[in-house]
Structure 1
Amino acid sequence: MTATRAWMILVGLSALSTLAAASGIAGPWLAVAVLPVAGLKGRVILNHYLHLAQAPEIARGFSLVLGLFIALLIGLAILPSA
């Protein structure tokens, strides 16, 4: 992946987060909409800019930790509303 393509993906994901926030979604549902997008942005940064794509085992470990962290945050966001 080129730096330009990674940058375009990050801009697109940022626009998606902005659209979700501007759509009127509020509270825990906004977290459910925005946090997975933040996780995708984190993976792009880790794999391209930090070059973890060259170390697939380490990249998988970081992706697992990032995914668990995003799931934890989503769980905490929806917990009070239950």
Structure 2
Amino acid sequence: MLIAASAVTTGFAFAHAHGLWVAVALLGLAMVKSRVILADYLQLNRVPAVRRGFMAVLILWAGIALALAFAAQP
């Protein structure tokens, strides 16, 4: 899953895609990758409460980043 999400992210970079929909897609991919890293590589799937806490902070960050992307649109 992590490799697939990274491949799609790389595809966006090579395509020189830009726009609001790209920001949404990249933030979504970042959330998928962060969940996989937290759960599998850091083994936080053994401690669901901690994983949920980390994900809550990351989702909050992504929401702020998305709001800034929307605000920056002309």
Please say whether Structure 1 and Structure 2 have the same fold, judged by a TM-score greater than 0.5. yes
2:30 match: secondary structure: helix
For the structure 1 residues 22 and 78, does the alpha-carbon distance in structure 2 shift closer, same or farther, using more than 3 Å as the test? farther
- Displacement of 1:17 in angstroms is 1.3
Structure 2 regions of 5+ residues with no counterpart?
none
Alignment TM-score, normalising by the size of structure 2: 0.83
Amino-acid identity (%): 39
Matched residue pairs, number? 74
Structure 1 regions of 5+ residues with no counterpart?
1-8
From 48, 66, 70, give the equivalent of 2:62.
70
Alignment TM-score, normalising by the size of structure 1: 0.76
In 1, the alpha carbon distance for the partners of 2:2 and 2:72 equals 31
Q: CA RMSD in A?
A: 1.6
